[in-house]
Structure 1
Amino acid sequence: MHSSEKTAFRTGETRIVTVSGTNRDMGRQLGEECRPGIGEALDLVASEASRIAPLDQARERALAYLPSILQDAPHLADELEGLAESAGIPMADALLLQLRFEAVGFDGRGGDGCSSLAVRGTDGHMVTGQNVDTVEDHVRLGLVVRMVPANGPSILMYTYYPGMIGYLGFNSHGVSVFGNALLSPGWRIGFPRYLVCRLALEQRSARAAEARIRALRRASTINLLLTDGTGDIRDLEQTVDRVETIEPEGDRLFHTNHYLCDALKADERLLAILPDSEARYEAGRKLLDDIDATGDLVAAAKDVLRDHHNYPSSICRHRAKVSEYDGDQWMTVASLVAEPSAGRLHVCFGPPCQGRYRTFAMTPAA
């Protein structure tokens, strides 16, 4: 697909790209700014997908998702067309960049973990975020994207490789979106999970995001932890056909990679593959319970995400075998802490016990 020579993608050393205008404009700008990294990302996705099917079949399958995108979010199809044009790649590849989870999934060789949290201070200040656990290459390829669309809220989000147009972060209305892999039966051609995240990031409230998500014919499964500027915390555990809401325990919520809602536990398939999810959940829930809601919530959230209780089955994940699952050799490739009301996203590229968090602003410094 692309040269196998690695170019160590960087957007300068800033790790952030700003795009603005119409959706097609934003796609073109992202493709132009990130062209070298997009090539590397496609190599990585193609390599993972090839374990399941040849690349031409993966591309053909990627195109099968386009009608769902055109039906429910035609503006995102426009954005992907702009991305493909400026990056010099076919539309199938632009789609494949959004479909890594559906293309690779949990086939016994690939997948993702992740631990997410939200905590509301006594003054109403909301802090939310997560560790992103996946394959090591994404440490190098991780990027922050600042979107300033002609219509709708501005978005500040992390993507684990260039070319993704939807993942984790918050918008200028104060809505934050973080999430975790879940697995239940029935995956199908439909609306992809990373674009579900993007649609949630376009909404004015957590409840509006929930309504948008419920209306989709979703392709795969995910847990989304949503917050907004009113102090609402909503966790949506999803199968392809159902959405169940988990309410926070007081002013905080923690989630990992298995269903917590009783109504969906019969559909649970990931816990048998990733038994460390329970250990991470119990450790994170206790650590979150111990946070002083009157204190420095950003520092407290970072401490939770650095935690090594039950190592190697820990919230801060390192390459170590924790199950019989062939694909569990991933690590924490990014740790994210968001302050939506302050317009700040703190990102550590790599395990947070080893690196420092960098702060990215919704509004660039003058």
Structure 2
Amino acid sequence: MSGGGSIPLVRVAGDPFTAGRLHGGALAAPLRAFVDDSLARLNRVLATPLSMTALLPTIAAYQAAVAAAAPDLAQEVRGLAEGAGISEPEAWLLQLRREIMGYQKVPTAGDCTTYARAGGPFAGHPVLAQTIDLNSDLDDQISVLEVSRTGGSRRSLVLSFAGLLGYLGLNSDGLAIGLNLVLGGDWRPGLPPYLAIRELLDSTSSVDQAVAALRGMRLASSRSLTLCDREKAVWVEVLGDELRVTEAVETLHTNHFLHPDLAPGDELNVFARNSSVRRLKAVEAGLAELGPAADPEQHFALLSEPPICVPDEGDIRRERTVAAVVMLPDRGELHVRPGDPSRSSTQVFSLRPT
């Protein structure tokens, strides 16, 4: 694997507990500092301050749900805590920040723009690309994990923030997964979507397998996942226990529900919805000018254009583009530009044959 620049590359291998311990040990100092920074920065973005003591029942409920749905990931969180020198509830807090934040019903400028191409005119050139728009100034918490589990040959390459076991990524079988926030339904203890993505990368080889696995998962919160392999691209919208799949040779998604069955349950506020619609139209127009064999730098050029790229307005509470990624599932490559992609250089991480 190759990588460079400011993004740490963490290789973890072995049983789940060992993988977590290696991850935590490699990033121990920054993870401890992040936990100590206003409770993983939650109290810098939420209107009502939280305390670790008050969160313990919520954390315990999610921990139990994850342990039932994905026991290997639960063991990996336990290892992360030991490796980083933090408590196990603190390690779970790192996995659950987005669920704890819940709905952010305030004006916002963005929350990820994602697209994928595969099959048809894009045969031989599959790609999944997206911006990552988050609050909390998380561009200083980016890392890339290469995960090899004992007993299997499949490896995963995962972009992570602040100790997350999963966020987005690809695996050695040629499956890539990205995501968008959509708001709706009841958020409840279950498998957080970030961890669900990691579980899918670790356990499935194709879009069809991943969609089948998703149908059996009880996700904790609403989300849209974009999945791409060498031959197929889909987005999957999840609202409560409802799931809808749309396949196309070119898929696009921002932050409002697109499937007519789920659109009535959309809880996105009007300001965020206007931004979401603008970004969807902008990426559609940009892709019309981007040839089927476009290289990663051409995709980054599109992701760097406003309104797709959301600027930093100096308010830690507001989402902004903290990274952009271009994934090439057939080549096992994760291309990343940290921070504002119009101002940063590309770093490349590649799964190499073992």
In 1, Cα distance between equivalents of 2:164 and 2:226: 20
Name the residue aligned to 2:343.
354
SS at match of 1:191: coil
Query: How many residues matched?
Result: 341
Q: Residue 307 of structure 1 corresponds to which residue in structure 2?
A: 305
Kindly indicate whether the alpha-carbon contact (under 8 Å) linking 2:7 and 2:144 is maintained by their aligned counterparts in 1: no
In structure 1, the residue matched to 2:236 is: 236
Distance across 2 between alignment mates of 1:351 and 1:157: 20
- Where in structure 2 are the equivalents of 1:263-274 lying within 5 Å? 263-274=261-272
The correspondence of residues 124-143 of structure 1 with structure 2, limited to 5 A, is: 124-135=124-135, 137-143=137-143
Question: How big is each residue's C-alpha offset from its partner over 1:21-41, in whole Å with a ceiling of 9 and x where there is no partner?
Answer: 111110010011010121233
Kindly indicate whether the alpha-carbon contact (under 8 Å) linking 1:114 and 1:181 is maintained by their aligned counterparts in 2.
yes
- Name the CA shift for 1:74/1:37 in 2 (closer, same or farther; >3 Å): same
Which whole-Å CA distance do the structure 2 matches of 1:45 and 1:360 have between them?
Answer: 31
Matched with 2:219 is 218
Alignment of 1:61-80 (within 5 A): 61-80=58-77
- Give the aligned residue type for 2:31: I
The 3-state SS of whatever aligns with 1:144 is strand
Contact map agreement 1:132 1:334 (CA 8 A) in 2: yes
Structure number with higher relative contact order (C-alpha < 8 Å, ≥ 6 residues apart): 2
Q: Which amino acid aligns with 1:22?
A: D
Change (3 A) 1:296 1:12: closer
- The within-5 A match list for 1:1-366 is 13=6, 15-42=8-35, 43=37, 46-48=40-42, 51-52=47-48, 53-108=50-105, 113-120=111-118, 122-135=122-135, 137-152=137-152, 153-161=154-162, 163-202=163-202, 203-229=204-230, 231-248=231-248, 251-274=249-272, 275-293=274-292, 295-308=293-306, 314-320=307-313, 329-363=318-352
Question: Contact 2:34/2:41 (CA < 8 Å) preserved in 1?
Answer: no
Instruction: Give the CA deviation at 1:109.
Output: 6.2
The alpha-carbon distance between structure 1 residues 297 and 63, as it changes in their structure 2 partners (threshold 3 A), is same
Which residue identity is paired with 2:241? Answer: D
Any gaps of 5 or more consecutive residues in structure 1?
1-10, 309-313
Q: Deviations over 1:172-205 (max 9, x none)?
A: 0111010000100211111112111111212111
CA distance in structure 1 between the partners assigned to 2:38 and 2:290 by the alignment: 38
Distance in 2 (alpha carbons) for counterparts of 1:44 and 1:210: 37
Identify the residue that residue 3 of structure 1 maps to in structure 2: none
Does the CA-based 8 Å contact 1:45-1:100 persist in structure 2?
no
Greater displacement, 238-247 / 120-129:
120-129
CA distance in 1 between partners of 2:348 and 2:104 (Å): 36
Identical counterparts, % of pairs: 30
C-alpha separation between the residues in 2 aligned to 1:91 and 1:107?
27
- Indicate conservation of the 8 Å contact 1:235/1:247, yes or no: yes
Given that residues 116 and 179 in structure 1 are in contact (C-alpha distance below 8 angstroms), is that contact kept between their aligned partners in structure 2?
yes
Deviates more, 1:87-96 or 1:112-121: 112-121
Q: Mean alpha-carbon deviation: is it higher for 169-178 or for 299-308?
A: 299-308
- Segment drifting more, 259-268 vs 183-192: 183-192
Per the normalisation by structure 1, the TM-score is 0.87
Query: Which sits farther off after the overlay, 11-20 or 86-95?
Result: 11-20
What is the CA RMSD across the aligned residues, in angstroms? Answer: 2.3
Change (3 A) 1:13 1:289: closer
Provide the rounded CA distance (Å) in 2 between the counterparts of 1:317 and 1:107: 17
CA distance in 1, matches of 2:128, 2:104: 30
TM-aligned CA deviation for residue 168 of structure 1: 0.6
CA contact (8 A) 1:271 1:277 kept: no
Shift of 1:267: 0.4
Report if the CA contact (8 A) 2:111-2:255 is conserved: yes
C-alpha separation in 2, matches of 1:151 and 1:221: 32
How far apart are 1:223 and its partner, in Å? Answer: 0.6
Structure 1 Cα separation of the partners of residues 87 and 136 of structure 2: 26
Q: C-alpha separation between the residues in 1 aligned to 2:284 and 2:297?
A: 17
Instruction: Give yes or no for contact 2:10–2:26 (8 Å, CA) kept in 1.
Output: yes
2:161 partner amino acid: Y
Question: Would you say the 8 A contact 1:233–1:247 is kept in 2?
Answer: yes
Q: 1:233 to 1:178 in 2, by over 3 A?
A: same
Q: State how far apart, in whole Å, the 1-side matches of 2:344 and 2:290 are.
A: 22
Letter in 2 for 1:261: H
Alpha-carbon distance in structure 1 between the residues aligned to 2:143 and 2:56: 24
